Amino acid sequence: MASINPPRAIAMINHALGVTAEQNIFFAPDLSGGTMVRITMDLVGESSEMSESALQSKVTYVIKDVLDSMAVLCRRSASPASG
């Protein structure tokens, strides 16, 4: 399930490994130019497939990967060569 409020926020609910995750991605103008992106994730439930620390490590990895991928795409679309 997803809720999108352009251009400010995206909210998603995901289910995996016995855990429900509510993800919120917020966009706001950066005072020095560009856009600030903030991601929050609330987890509900307990995984029977991995420990709490392993789950937290996976969540941290996923959020970092999402932000890194988004930064690459934004830089690419902002470059003069992108058209």
- Residue by residue, pLDDT tens for the chain (83 residues) are 666 556 788 888 988 888 898 888 898 988 888 888 888 888 888 888 889 899 888 888 888 888 888 778 777 877 776 55
State the pLDDT at residue 9: 87
State the pLDDT at residue 3: 62
As for how many domains the chain has, the answer is 1
Buried/exposed 57-72: b ≥16 CB within 10 Å, e otherwise: eeeeeeeeeeeeeeee
Range of the domain at 33: 2-82
